[in-house]
């Protein structure tokens, strides 16, 4: 069984959905958590902290948009100072706007996907990696869209393919230092943001 007793993890997009679930799972196996999300999700972020406190684990919360490198660095630095170190990074924050054929996507929708899903991951790793040492781990949350092409999701699919390349490069760079880098690729998950992205429940 996974044992992260007294380890410290940072999770981005931690306020709700899969991000909160990641936090809860980490707490269940003994980790304290630096929970990061946008200011707009501050109330939900507080609920994440309460869920971890109920499990007997510490949770340092900080608001930052992963598109803002300075804010992400300040959030992670403050969390590390408060909790005493960093062992695990979960780059979870992401967006999935409603899709359309590639030639019909707006520049704004395309750019947001790249800014959050790709640059945001790079910002998270850039801010966190200096705090990691041998035995540390980085987990980048991808998508099955990062393993295949899917119609009407050019913005999202491109961003998720990009982080696979980023993760492979980081693994080559950080592996010699004893730090593991992996991606995981879930399919559709029932989260509060799923309907806005055009995901609908099938069946009863």
User: CA 65 → CA 12, 59, 68, distances in Å?
Assistant: 9, 18, 6
Annotated catalytic residue: which of 16, 26, 154, 156?
156
- Token readout for 82 is 């408060």
Q: Largest Cα–Cα distance of the chain, in whole Å?
A: 50
Q: Is 156 a catalytic residue?
A: yes
Strands, sheet with 180-184, edge to edge from the N-terminal-most edge strand: 59-63, 32-37, 8-12, 88-91, 137-141, 180-184
Tokens standing for residue 19: 């991000």
User: Catalytic positions, please?
Assistant: 156
């Amino acid at each position: 069984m996974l044992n992260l007793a007294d380890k410290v993890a940072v999770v981005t997009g931690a306020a709700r959905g899969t991000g909160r679930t990641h936090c809860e799972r980490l707490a269940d196996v003994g980790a304290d958590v630096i929970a990061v999300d946008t200011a707009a999700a501050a109330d939900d972020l507080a609920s994440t902290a309460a869920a971890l406190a109920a499990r007997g684990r510490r949770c340092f919360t900080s608001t930052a948009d992963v598109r803002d490198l300075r804010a992400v660095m300040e959030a992670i630095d403050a969390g590390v100072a408060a909790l005493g170190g960093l062992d695990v990074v979960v780059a979870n924050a992401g967006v999935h706007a409603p899709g359309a054929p590639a030639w019909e996507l707006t520049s704004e929708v395309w750019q947001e996907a790249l800014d959050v899903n790709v640059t945001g991951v790079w910002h998270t790793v850039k801010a966190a990696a200096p705090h990691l040492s041998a035995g540390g781990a980085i987990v980048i949350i991808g998508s099955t869209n990062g393993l295949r092409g899917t119609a009407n999701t050019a913005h999202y699919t491109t961003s998720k393919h990009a982080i696979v390349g980023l993760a492979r490069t980081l693994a080559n760079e950080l592996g010699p230092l004893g730090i593991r880098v992996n991606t995981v690729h879930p399919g559709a998950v029932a989260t509060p943001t799923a309907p806005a992205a055009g995901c609908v429940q099938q069946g009863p």
